[in-house]
């Protein structure tokens, strides 16, 4: 059986219900909106975040509409943030397909992202749970802060792992942490469970971003972005940050500063990619993910639902093991 299919198995019925609710929101009677939303709907991806919400909620009990709508809310917010991110980053492709602003225009993309944000608020309100509304509002703020922090970090000449983790926690890990929080509060779980599943989500999200960053050191058209794209956008990621700090190589440091200033050439970026690999950057990032994996496993060690526990272990292994 396909690995992702195995992971989905304990919540297969709930995911079918989720799909119906999600598709219902991304449907419109007006022709232009209908076509634009259909395009968004066609690019749903693997639904990793709704799967995590439903798996974590299932450990606490039977899943009802508040949790299903919470999962819809989270995926809508994630989708709207991707649309806006593509405009900010001027990215014409995502997962090998044209981004919405490339297909239509920046104006349409921004407005459609805003439309999805409004639908996010509406869905959160329909849970009837103010804790869900609060969690979603906080998440929206955090994601925006992460984007702003990443842009402002360009002027920082230090190559800081701490700054890297601060950014990815706000840009990526926050979404997965919210999976845990929404699972718990929508099920009215206790504080200990809420804390643990939030931390589990944070770890998963951190691993997700580290793996995604490793992809940038390799060529693979299926990923939907060329090798070195992060550096071309002025971003330094964990493998290179580690290599720079381990070696204190002056030439590499000078080129890394050029990356942050948006002045590095393709050849200079290629040099830094090779430099990171040769100086243990990829190995270090892989090692860090495995350490985080052990922490995540410990958080769910006493889960009572055996099928859910196994699926969650497989989930984090899937995140870490995604091939480039």
What pLDDT does 115 receive? 87
What pLDDT does 324 receive? 46
94, β-bridge pairs = 97
Determine phi and psi for 133, rounding to 5 degrees. Answer: -60, -45
What pLDDT does 223 receive? 52
What pLDDT does 92 receive? 61
Mean pLDDT for the stretch of residues 27-37: 84
What pLDDT does 52 receive? 97
Q: Which residues contact 283 (CB under 8 A, 6 or more apart)?
A: none
Asked if the 3-321 domain carries CATH number 3.40.50.720, the reply is no
What pLDDT does 156 receive? 66
C-beta of residue 233 within 8 angstroms of C-beta of residue 213 = no
Mean pLDDT for the stretch of residues 9-19: 96
Residue whose entry in the numeric block shows the structure tokens 């225009």: 105
pLDDT digits (tens, 9 = 90+) for 46-69: 899 999 999 999 999 999 999 999
Indicate whether 105 pLDDT > 80. Answer: no
Which of the four pLDDT bands, split at 50, 70 and 90, describes residue 89? low
**Residue of 316 and 110 predicted with greater confidence:** 316
Domain boundaries, the chain: 3-321
pLDDT digits (tens, 9 = 90+) for 270-320: 999 999 999 999 999 999 999 999 999 999 999 999 999 999 999 999 999
The DSSP secondary structure of 301-316, one letter per residue, reads TT-S-HHHHHHHHHHH
pLDDT digits (tens, 9 = 90+) for 70-82: 999 999 998 888 8
What pLDDT does 54 receive? 98
Pairing of the two strands 93-94 and 97-98: antiparallel
Question: 169-183 b/e with 16+ CB inside 10 Å = b?
Answer: bbbbbbbbbbbbbbb
Instruction: Look up the pTM and report it.
Output: 0.89
Cα dihedral 196/210/80/233 (nearest 10): 150
Indicate whether 243 pLDDT > 90. Answer: yes
Indicate whether 25 pLDDT > 60. Answer: yes
Mean pLDDT for the stretch of residues 168-183: 94
- Mean pLDDT, the chain, integer: 89
Indicate whether 34 pLDDT > 90. Answer: no
What pLDDT does 132 receive? 93
Cβ neighbours around 215 below 10 Å, total = 20
Which range is least confidently modeled, 25-34, 147-156, 191-200, 241-250? 147-156
Indicate whether 323 pLDDT > 60. Answer: no
What pLDDT does 148 receive? 82
Which range is least confidently modeled, 183-187, 196-200, 260-264? 260-264
Closest CA to 277 of 237, 316, 309: 237
């Amino acid at each position: 059986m396909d690995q992702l299919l195995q992971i989905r198995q304990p919540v297969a019925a709930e995911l079918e219900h989720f799909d119906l609710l999600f598709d219902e929101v991304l449907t419109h009677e007006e022709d232009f909106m209908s076509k634009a939303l259909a395009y968004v709907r066609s690019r749903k991806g693997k639904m990793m975040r709704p799967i995590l919400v439903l798996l974590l909620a299932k450990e606490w009990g039977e899943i009802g509409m508040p949790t299903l709508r919470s999962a819809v809310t989270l995926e809508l917010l994630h989708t709207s943030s991707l649309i806006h991110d593509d405009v900010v980053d001027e990215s014409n492709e995502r997962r090998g397909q044209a981004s919405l602003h490339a297909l239509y225009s920046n104006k349409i993309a921004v407005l459609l992202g805003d439309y999805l944000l409004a639908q996010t608020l509406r869905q959160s309100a329909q849970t009837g749970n103010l804790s869900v509304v609060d969690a979603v509002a906080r998440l929206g703020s955090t994601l925006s802060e992460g984007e702003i922090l990443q842009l402002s970090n360009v002027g920082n000449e230090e190559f800081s792992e701490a700054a890297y983790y601060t950014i990815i926690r706000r840009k990526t890990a926050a979404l997965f942490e919210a999976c845990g929080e929404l699972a718990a509060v929508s099920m009215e779980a206790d504080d200990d469970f809420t804390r643990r599943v939030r931390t589990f989500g944070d770890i998963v999200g951190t691993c997700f971003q580290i793996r995604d960053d490793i992809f940038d050191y390799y060529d693979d058209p299926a990923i939907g972005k060329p090798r070195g794209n992060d550096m071309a956008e002025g971003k330094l990621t964990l493998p290179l940050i580690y290599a720079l700090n381990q070696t204190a190589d002056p030439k590499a440091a000078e080129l890394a500063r050029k990356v942050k200033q948006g002045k590095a050439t393709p050849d200079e970026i290629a040099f830094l990619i090779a430099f990171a690999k040769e100086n243990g950057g990829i190995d270090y990032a892989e090692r860090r993910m495995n350490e985080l994996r052990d922490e995540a496993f410990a958080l769910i060690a006493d889960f009572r639902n055996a099928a859910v526990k196994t699926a969650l272990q497989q989930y984090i292994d899937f995140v870490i093991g995604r091939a480039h």
